[in-house]
């Protein structure tokens, strides 16, 4: 892994703009990241939050060669109901891998994938942290040249991979507990979400039903003080074995297995476990915008905190025809800059234990 560090040093560019006022805060993070999968990735993250904790987030990423994605999230919390709107549109290479080589990250074939996804959640807090809600979603995938057009490639992999195109609509019931002291930068408490979705997908010119269940658990425990924290996340899910690719679970990337290419593994069942040691080293760092306080009294005179994180992730997806579970694990480290009230600037670098593959992430937000 060490021989990859010179790539990382070449492509780190961070320019963080935070404009805190009395009633609203804006955060902007332009920069670049690096991975063996995509090379240089340009990114732009914007977050806006008002004094009612209404929150708007948008992220733009450019992979190069007319590939990239845009995603957004709107969160509107109220005393009796919480609205969440999420969406993502991606144009990227869809790669075909062999499942028989655990550390093999070279694609056997490539096509262009167009991916669209939208989710709307409506949660009802019931007191003492308990909530229940409903969620509806839509997902569609279009592949420019289906892998089925290259039977020799599929036969050579000895693996029945069908990256078919189609769409999925679903409605789910959800319930759980929200007992974190901060939804976006937790230092104490826990979070639990259980959800079951029923949906209909269309693929191979057929329309079929689907049932999917997921579980997400997170816990945060301070050691001595809030400057040292242990965070743990376990999540998983299950659906039918015969669903198409776009209905399966996908792992790999900053939201699951860091150090592994985005959506590297997929299957009808999955699990992921993540553990982090978060250590804040510097507190009460003066805001560079304090010089404007005399000119603009609405500017909030905030202070920042900075530290590092050590982490490991492990998990796997059930692979059709294999009939067994595996364990894929990584290690990594990162830097954190906490910006009040609810934003964290993050830089992470990770590698799988079974290869020298390297992924580098730069974003606004904790990993979980």
Q: Which CATH architecture has domain 2-364?
A: Beta Barrel (2.40)
Q: How far apart are CA 182 and CA 190, in angstroms?
A: 10
pTM of the model: 0.81
Are the C-beta atoms of residues 223 and 315 closer than 8 Å to each other? Answer: no
Say which residues have a Cβ less than 8 Å from residue 35's Cβ, sequence separation at least 6.
41, 261, 358, 359, 360
Backbone angles phi, psi at 235, to 5 degrees: -150, 160
Q: Which of 14-23, 109-118, 163-172, 291-300 has the highest mean pLDDT?
A: 163-172
Cα radius of gyration (the chain): 21
| pLDDT exceeds 50 at position 19 | yes
Question: Which neighbouring-strand residues pair with 349?
Answer: 333, 360
Q: How far apart are CA 22 and CA 4, in angstroms?
A: 44
pLDDT of residue 253: 84
Q: How far apart are CA 266 and CA 317, in angstroms?
A: 6
Tens digit of pLDDT for each residue in 193-224? 999 999 999 987 889 999 999 999 999 999 98
Least confident of 3-12, 257-266, 314-323: 3-12
CA distances 163 to 56, 148, 168, 357, Å, are 33, 8, 14, 24
Peptide bond into 58 cis (omega under 30): no
Q: How far apart are CA 197 and CA 173, in angstroms?
A: 7
> Higher model confidence: residue 307 or residue 287?
307
Task: Write b or e for each residue in 219-241: b if 16 or more Cβ atoms lie within 10 A of its Cβ, otherwise e.
Answer: bbeeeeeebebebebebbbbbee
SS3 259: coil
CA distances 26 to 22, 57, 298, 302, 348, Å, are 11, 10, 13, 13, 23
Number of C-beta neighbours around residue 78 at 10 A: 11
pLDDT of residue 129: 93
């Amino acid at each position: 892994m060490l021989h990859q560090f010179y790539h990382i040093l070449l492509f780190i560019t961070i320019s963080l703009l935070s404009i805190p006022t009395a009633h609203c805060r804006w955060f902007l993070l332009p920069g670049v990241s690096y991975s063996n999968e995509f090379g240089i990735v340009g990114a732009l993250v914007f977050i806006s939050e008002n004094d009612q904790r209404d929150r708007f987030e948008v992220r733009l990423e450019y992979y190069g060669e007319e590939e990239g994605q845009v995603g957004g999230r709107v969160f509107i919390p109220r005393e009796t109901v919480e609205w969440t709107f999420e969406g993502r549109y991606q144009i990227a290479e869809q790669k075909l891998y062999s499942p028989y080589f655990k550390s093999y990250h070279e694609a056997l074939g490539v096509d262009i994938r167009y991916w669209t996804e939208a989710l709307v959640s409506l949660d009802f807090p019931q007191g003492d942290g308990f909530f229940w809600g409903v969620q509806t979603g839509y997902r569609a995938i279009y592949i420019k040249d289906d892998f089925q057009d290259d039977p020799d490639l599929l036969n050579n992999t000895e693996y029945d991979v069908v990256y078919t195109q189609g769409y999925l609509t679903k409605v789910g019931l959800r319930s759980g507990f929200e007992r974190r002291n901060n939804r976006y930068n937790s230092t104490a408490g826990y979070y639990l979400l259980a959800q079951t979705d029923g949906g209909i997908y269309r693929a191979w010119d057929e329309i079929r039903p689907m049932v999917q269940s997921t579980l997400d658990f997170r816990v945060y425990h301070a050691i001595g003080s809030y400057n040292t924290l242990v965070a743990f996340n376990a999540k998983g899910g299950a659906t039918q074995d015969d669903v198409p690719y776009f209905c399966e679970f996908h792992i790999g990337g900053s939201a699951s297995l860091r150090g592994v290419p985005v959506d590297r593994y997929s299957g009808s069942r999955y699990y992921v476990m993540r553990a982090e040691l978060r250590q804040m080293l510097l507190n009460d760092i003066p805001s560079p915008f304090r010089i404007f306080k005399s000119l603009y009294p609405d500017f909030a005179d905030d202070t920042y905190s900075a530290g590092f994180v050590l982490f490991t992730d492990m998990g796997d997806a059930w692979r059709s025809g294999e009939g067994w579970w595996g364990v894929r694990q990584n290690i990594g480290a990162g830097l954190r800059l906490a910006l009040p009230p609810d934003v964290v600037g993050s830089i992470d670098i990770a590698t799988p234990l079974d290869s020298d593959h390297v992924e580098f992430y730069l974003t606004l937000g904790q990993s979980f």
